[in-house]
Amino acid sequence: MNIRIISKHIEITDAIRAKIEEKISKLPKYYNSINDVEVIVEGNEGGIAKSVEIIARSEHNHIFVAKHTGEDMYVCVDEAERKIERQLTKHKQKERDNKHAGGMVMEE
């Protein structure tokens, strides 16, 4: 899995980078077909509002996007990761539900 961290109008510290990499490395636990993850960290020019956007690409051209905006960068990372985790879990559950059970015969 490739992880790219991009910053716009803000300097990413080592602590924030480590937190992002820690959170993103857990994503294959929820959906194991993820190939590429891009994390875009944006800072407002005033320095108050910050946003984190996570874009996960998986096999068969599935794209999952989660974005959170707030004042604290760590909270933004946590919330964006929670949102993408929910999307991945839901997609994995849909894939599992679409599989048919083979060989089941109902007797009356």
**How many C-beta atoms lie closer than 10 Å to residue 66's C-beta?**
19
Q: How far is CA 38 from CA 57, 58, 77, 99, in A?
A: 8, 12, 13, 30
Give pLDDT, residue 98. Answer: 79
- What is the identity of the amino acid at 3? I
- Mean pLDDT across the chain, nearest whole number? 89
9-38 pLDDT per residue, tens: 889 999 999 999 999 999 999 988 899 999
Specify the pTM: 0.85
Q: Could you give all domains of the chain from N- to C-terminal order, each with its CATH number?
A: 2-93 (3.30.160.100)
Rounded Cα distance between 103 and 13, Å, is: 56
44-62 pLDDT per residue, tens: 877 788 999 999 999 888 9
Tokens 């997609």 — which residue?
91
